[in-house]
Structure 1
Amino acid sequence: MLQVVRVIALKYNNLSRSQRLTFGALLFLTWGMLVWQAAIYNPNAENTIPPISTTSTAEDTQIADNSEPMDQPTPDDDIPKDELDEKIGDEVVPNEYVVSSGDTLSSILNQFGLDSSEVYLLTNKNPALANLKIGQQLNWTLNDEGNLQSLTWAVSRRETRTYQRGENGFAETINTLKGEWKNSVLTGTLDGSFVSSARAAGLTNSEIHAVTKALQWQLDFRKLRKGDRFSVLLSREVLDGKNEQSELVGVRMQSSGKDYYAIRSGDGKFYDREGSGLAKGFLRFPTPKQYKVSSPFNPRRLHPITGRVAPHKGVDFSMPIGSPVLAVGDGEVVVAKFSGAAGNYVAIRHGRQYSTRYMHLNKILVKQGQKIKRGDRIALSGNTGRSTGPHLHYELWVNEQAVNPLTATLPRSEGLIGKDRSDYLTLAKEVIPQLHL
């Protein structure tokens, strides 16, 4: 190799001055072209998606740590509302959760942005909360400062424990109802909207909400037609002749001649007639590979100058302009436009409970109203709107509440197996005949 270099140097020295200038210019142009090609080279061609990497590359670390301006608002009002949202949304506690395998009270509340100190204040004098079981439901409310105000734990259909914040921490109240639980089958035919038809059949607003949530992955309730039929099996507690509370056991919707079923299992979740999961699985990251987080989820972030709370409702990923942005789950595009501080902005609705938002995009690849699948390319990342540098701002919302996308419990499309499935199929054989039309 050394001999080759010597020969080249000797030949170069024997060239005239004009030849050496020409040779140097060509060498410089060649080197410049190679650097330019390396800079724009994208191994992720339009129709290929590389596997997710759990490590940062040198390219990632060279990008500046970019984050949202501290006073940037989230375009909440851009998410379109429909009748189901407007008619029953205000009557449903937005912070609700069904306990799943591996959950603790801390892991549940932390993903919704509550500090561990808040959880400790609640559990310190209420150790029973360490005994959460799969299928139990939790509801909670926050005060104006974003702190936990109250929590309701449905221990069973008869026992409910409420924890209310006071001067000395959280006080526990145990309510035990002594009514009689009876099964009721309510049927109806659509003549107008589903909400009005369900009310005419005798369902309450909370029961309508339970039905739409159970069938959210199978049906678009806005596209049901006149003449479609439904049957709902409810377990209602009757005390002194009045319905005190209810639980959805199963539902059947017949639309355009096709039947859709959702039946509650012992884990509090709904499955079809064969025990297959109804939820559509989500990706953890909205990108083909994992990029560096430049600004984390923080709903209680304080502005460094004003001192007021300026929540950061999502996660910022530091990534080069033009990087692919993926839909994390199946859904419908409800926003695809330029939106002020958010820049080029896409929002996707996944069923009735979930929505995701993607901001500061360089280019939008989808249109409002378009149906998309998990993993579809919806945009290219950018630096548009009020942004301090190239990055993707990504938000995950559950029941109209922003949650931490990196820790939230995501929907998984999985079915029951083993004894759980056999127990469920036994239950389904009892429920399905009752869902007559």
Structure 2
Amino acid sequence: MQLLPRSIALALNSLPRPHRIMLGSLTALTLAMAISKPFVYHNDDDGYHQKPIAKQILLDAQQVRSLLPEASEPLDDSDSPPAADIPKDELDDKTENEKGVHEYVVSTGDTLSSILNQYGIDMSDISALATSNSDLRNLKIGQQLSWTVNDDGDLQRLTWEKSRRETVTFDRSGNGFKASTEMLKGEWQDQVLKGTVGGSFVGSAKEAGLSNAEIGAVVKALQWQMDFKKLRKGDQFSVLMSREMLDGKSQQSELAGVHMRSGGKDYYAIRAEDGKFYDRSGSGLARGFLRFPTLRQYRVSSNFNPRRLNPVTGRIAPHRGVDFAVPIGTPVLAVGDGEVIVAKNGGAAGNYVALRQGRQYMTRYMHLSRVLVKPGQKVKRGQRIGLSGNTGRSTGPHLHFEVWINNVAVNPLTAKLPRSEGLSGKDLKDYLSTVREVMPQLKL
């Protein structure tokens, strides 16, 4: 340790005298600034200075955490999505859900809590629902849930289609929910509707007798195989709908299978007992998603929180994604096959990319240092779409990643993402039996 001061002294002595004077002056100035403590004084009524006044803001532990540099979302972030300019097409206008209404088909491993929690529903509401009907704790594959929320994201109503005939509705009542059951007595009938694409698929499907909801079901079933925007005049389709008829009117319907012929190529989607759609051989139609948009998993510096409170304003300022602490220049990957719908500088979002995967899924990648794709470009799962950075309204290098399902932001770390798995065993045997019954009805 004694050699270090001696080495520094020898180095200083070897410098020219003007350089030694300048270095000493800068050192003295730096020390003076570090020691000094500037204060703001307020004069009292007599004109004399009072003691220095400092404003004190008491924050709890959670608020202190949100002010750390690693919490990259700005404190003055608005409630609106940062990419409100994402283009919409005719299919969005005609088939999207009513505002505030969300739908979900129960799949393997789902629970009421895992489904609703990823959409930001309070655990107290989930618990109240389960208390009002214990059967909700044992959801079955293929059952459908739909729910509505108000502008604040609070759950107002949940509809549970237990079977084709039985529907249970839970309406908010005070601090809990009141359940009501409806048993439909209509007769279920299979109907085949066929048509030829003219000006647009939506218009042609309506002429064939499909409702907006049924058109949406067809689009979702085939969303991974084909782009409905690129259907040509003369393309053909055949749809098998199972409808419940009551007094000559359809009360509800369920898509059983669809056959689309476009450009001389045939596309099929047939519903299995689990509520999902598969091809003629039982292979999954969904394109599998990566869980993380990077080659390896990085530390999460800020979690998904749709009800995050702004520590300054006290208002809800949702954090609609997760932040990964990644070094600048880290390759950012598309988590699934899709189309680039936004690739530009987005102000607070910095350089960012938005991908549309199928018709239900959208992913966003923000604060990039460089964008490697262009709008309209098709990308594959695992393809590089940009390099991470620190652009836009950001307090440090990181990647902000979002997943949207049916225009609702969900937690990317827990959301139920598509997996390209097929059926096997008894499930496959039962499905192939269904295919043999449905295929002849879908002939064009």
TM over 0.5: yes
Greater displacement, 195-204 / 122-131: 122-131
What displacement does 1:91 show? 4.2
1:163 is aligned to 2:163: no
What displacement does 1:71 show? 3.0
1:65 is aligned to 2:78: no
Deviations 1:171-206 (A, max 9, x none): 001111000011100000000110000001000000
Match of 1:378 among 363, 382, 385: 385
The answer as to whether partners of 2:101 and 2:149 remain within 8 angstroms in 1 is no
Greater displacement, 157-166 / 120-129: 120-129
Deviations 1:19-49 (A, max 9, x none): xx9xxxxxxxxxxxxxxxxxxxxxxxxxxxx
Greater displacement, 370-379 / 105-114: 105-114
| Counterpart for residue 422 of structure 2 | 415
C-alpha distance in 2 between matches for 1:333 and 1:71: 28
The answer as to whether partners of 1:94 and 1:399 remain within 8 angstroms in 2 is no
C-alpha distance in 2 between matches for 1:92 and 1:389: 35
Using the size of structure 1 for normalisation, the TM-score is: 0.84
Change (3 A) 1:93 1:272: farther
Match of 2:408 among 387, 401, 422: 401
Structure 2: 5+ residue runs without aligned partners? 4-9, 15-67
Greater displacement, 276-285 / 76-85: 76-85
| Counterpart for residue 130 of structure 1 | 137
The answer as to whether partners of 1:161 and 1:174 remain within 8 angstroms in 2 is yes
The answer as to whether partners of 1:336 and 1:367 remain within 8 angstroms in 2 is yes
The answer as to whether partners of 2:100 and 2:150 remain within 8 angstroms in 1 is no
| Counterpart for residue 426 of structure 1 | 433
Deviations 1:126-145 (A, max 9, x none): 21211210111111111222
| Counterpart for residue 119 of structure 1 | 126
C-alpha distance in 1 between matches for 2:385 and 2:101: 28
- Aligned AA (1:428): V
What displacement does 1:266 show? 0.2
| Counterpart for residue 173 of structure 1 | 180
SS at match of 1:294: strand
Query: How many residues end up aligned between the 2 structures?
Result: 382
SS at match of 2:132: coil
Max radius of gyration: which structure? 2
| Counterpart for residue 278 of structure 1 | 285
| Counterpart for residue 392 of structure 1 | 399
What displacement does 1:110 show? 1.0
Greater displacement, 141-150 / 212-221: 141-150
The answer as to whether partners of 1:333 and 1:349 remain within 8 angstroms in 2 is yes
Match of 1:331 among 320, 326, 338: 338
| Counterpart for residue 205 of structure 2 | 198
User: After superposition, where does 1:104-253 map in structure 2 within 5 Å?
Assistant: 104-253=111-260
Deviations 1:136-183 (A, max 9, x none): 111111122211111111100111111010114100011110000111
The answer as to whether partners of 1:94 and 1:400 remain within 8 angstroms in 2 is no
What displacement does 1:232 show? 0.2
SS at match of 1:78: coil
C-alpha distance in 2 between matches for 1:72 and 1:345: 16
- Aligned AA (1:280): R
C-alpha distance in 2 between matches for 1:138 and 1:113: 15
- 4+ aligned runs moved over 6 Å, structure 1: none
SS at match of 1:198: helix
- Aligned AA (1:414): E
- Aligned AA (2:135): A
C-alpha distance in 2 between matches for 1:90 and 1:183: 25
- Aligned AA (1:241): G
C-alpha distance in 2 between matches for 1:252 and 1:358: 35
SS at match of 2:311: coil
The answer as to whether partners of 2:278 and 2:284 remain within 8 angstroms in 1 is yes
Greater displacement, 218-227 / 298-307: 298-307
C-alpha distance in 2 between matches for 1:245 and 1:193: 25
SS at match of 2:251: strand
C-alpha distance in 1 between matches for 2:76 and 2:94: 32
The answer as to whether partners of 1:94 and 1:401 remain within 8 angstroms in 2 is no
Identity, in percent, stands at: 68
SS at match of 2:198: coil
Deviations 1:51-89 (A, max 9, x none): xxxxxxxxxxxx962421133242242221000101232
- Aligned AA (2:270): I
The answer as to whether partners of 2:349 and 2:392 remain within 8 angstroms in 1 is yes
| Counterpart for residue 265 of structure 1 | 272
- Aligned AA (2:354): A
Structure 1: 5+ residue runs without aligned partners? 1-8, 10-16, 22-62
